Amino acid sequence: MEYNNLAKLYEELEKTTKRLEKTFVISNFLKETKNEDIQTIVLLLQGRLFPNWDTREIGVASRIVIKAINLATGIKAEQIENEWRKKGDLGIVAEELVVKKKQKTLFSKDLTVNKVFENLRKLAELEGMGTVDKKINLIAELLTSAKPVEAKYIIRTILGELRIGVGEGSLRDAIVWAFFGDKIGVRYDEKEKSIDVRDRTEYNKYVDAVQKAYDATNDFSVVAKSSKKGLTELEETSLAVGRPVKVMLALKVKDVREGFERCGKPAEFEYKLDGFRIQAHKNGKEIILFTRRLENVTKQFPEVVEFIKKNVKGDEFIIDSEAVGYSQKTGKYLPFQSISQRIKRKYDIEDMAEKFPVELNIFDILYYNGKNLLNEGFVKRRELLEKIVKQEKRKIILAKKFVTDDEKEVEKFYKEAINSGNEGLMIKKLDSPYKPGARVGHMVKLKPTLENLDLVIVGAEWGTGKRATWLSSFTLACVDDDGNFLEIGKVGTGIKEKEEEGVSFKQLTEELKPLITNQKGREVKTKPKVVVEVTYGEIQKSPTYSSGYALRFPRVVKLRLDRGPDECSTLNMVEDFYYSQKKK
């Protein structure tokens, strides 16, 4: 397929904010896409070169893109940078400058989707001497042959800023409409911008099938390929050891009674630990550890690998757990921040393991020796864990549990959890399935404090005076059901000038600088990657921000290296907190 066809689709999607219209446009495009191109197209529609679970990055910052545009067009880097400051979008800059390019293109030819995809994927594979120059040449090669509109979206894809507004919900439904729409009578009214379905029950069955396949694979490109082959192929799409799955998330309840209302009686209660999730995969002798952000941290936690090898029976499995730091002196659990630095550590790993030891608390299992357990009841999954895990204190244990239907007994267990240094309790419905990536009502959390928000940074401003080399005044966003990031305010407090005192301006600047995609004066836009936990005095309605809400007196509590942007607080959560505070 010619890349120009995909670029035109991007343009069409960018022109509308209507979710159903986007879904219709994508579904028509997917219908006409050949089998050999379908996975590539679906990845590129998400602005991705690799699936969600693949943590490879192309490592291209704005400066490299500017040099590539310079090489491809012959226009000076300073002029390109000036245009970037004015437009705030290097994609638009590339689109306009490609028209004006001074160098003649001797060997340019029409770009194909595969050519663009291959060149951009190679960016992630380059390493060693001369890497920067090689990356510049690969990008410039594409820009040299690119039509203006193609140049815009090539650059946006490289910078992770496609700006076409396609969320997971739209893509899921587009796959349903494209490959099963005729069977279930889906009809889109272009004039009314509405959808008509012959049989809603049948329609929901196909939506659930696509969603279930995505939950198991965490990869819409695989789901689309299977769907194109038919329902049978789609339903056979399953978990794969070594491919991480989004973890199941919990809703918050205000008290024990609400916990019982959601999870039924009796329910299982576990300590809510202040650590970070580890999803452990075993395939034969190989063990791989993933965080809830789907990052591979096997090398950073060699002792956890050994704990699992020695203490968990089975040839193949996927287990869900929490690694919690503890004090070697007192034996008490420590807060997440005490061990968070281990997640990104690349050197002195053995010393770090000795200084900041962790205990692995296992609480669920998704797959065991060839069997998918997602639809098994929670009690059965827990019983299996009790059979296969040999517990060893301060190394690997099962999460402490308590099953009851007595509110008073739960209150005692709750106090015990808090006094032991834990955050609160997890409450679980006994017969519930495991739902990857979803905040489900059959698993909830009970905490004694006002619920903080986990928000993603989407922009900032360069400081002034002694903070001139640091980013400050960080723009925060929550996420809606379609995966769109909606601004909810700015924060500048709770951040320290000295690194040893907590989350610092320097640390956030180092995390965000490679993620800058646009710059206008002192203001920058960044890829939504860095998540911070934020406390606040109140949530207010506000027309200023795209979420419709604003935080009063926000303050950064901690940097959440264990959270991915798609796991940040949702707009629904913000709305719930807003209305619950009004009732008080």
Catalytic residues: 272
Spacing of C-alpha 12 from chain mean position: 26
Distance, in Å, from the CA atom of 304 to the CA atom of 308, rounded to the nearest integer, reads: 6
Strands 439-446 and 249-253: parallel
Phi then psi dihedrals of residue 118, to 5 deg? -65, -45
Beta bridge partners of 319: 280, 365
Q: State the residue for tokens 């994927």.
A: 121
Rounded Cα–Cα distance for residues 22 and 46 (Å): 13
HSE-up of 85 (CA within 13 Å, CB side)? 7
Dihedral sign (CA 264, 269, 275, 278): negative
CB 558 within 8 A of CB 479: no
Burial class from Cβ neighbours inside 10 Å (0-12, 13-18, 19+) for residue 35 reads: exposed
- Cβ atoms 448, 459 nearer than 8 A: no
DSSP 501-543: GSSBHHHHHHHHGGGEEEEETTEEEE-TT-EEEEE-SEEEE-S
| Vertex 36: Cα angle to 34 and 42 (nearest 5) | 80
Coil, strand, or helix at residue 10?
A: helix
Both structure tokens of 440: 């489900």
Q: How many CB atoms neighbour CB 461 within 10 A?
A: 17
Beta bridge partners of 359: 324
Strand partners, 365: 319
Amino acid sitting at position 560 = R
> How far, in whole angstroms, is CA 316 from its chain's centroid?
26
Q: What gap in Å lies between CA 546 and CA 477, rounded to an integer?
A: 9
Phi, psi (degrees; rounded to nearest 5) at 292: -65, -15
Question: For residue 20, what are the CA distances in angstroms to 25, 43, 185?
Answer: 9, 20, 16
What's the rounded Cα separation, in Å, for the pair 157 and 69?
A: 15
Report how far residue 568's alpha carbon sits from residue 496's, in angstroms, rounded to the nearest whole number: 23
Longest dimension (CA), the chain: 80
CB-CB contact of 33 with 113 (8 Å) = no
How many angstroms separate the CA atoms of 327 and 320, rounded? 23
Within 88-199, residue ranges assigned H as helices are: 90-99, 113-125, 131-145, 148-159, 168-184
Query: Hey, what are 254's tokens?
Result: 């205000």
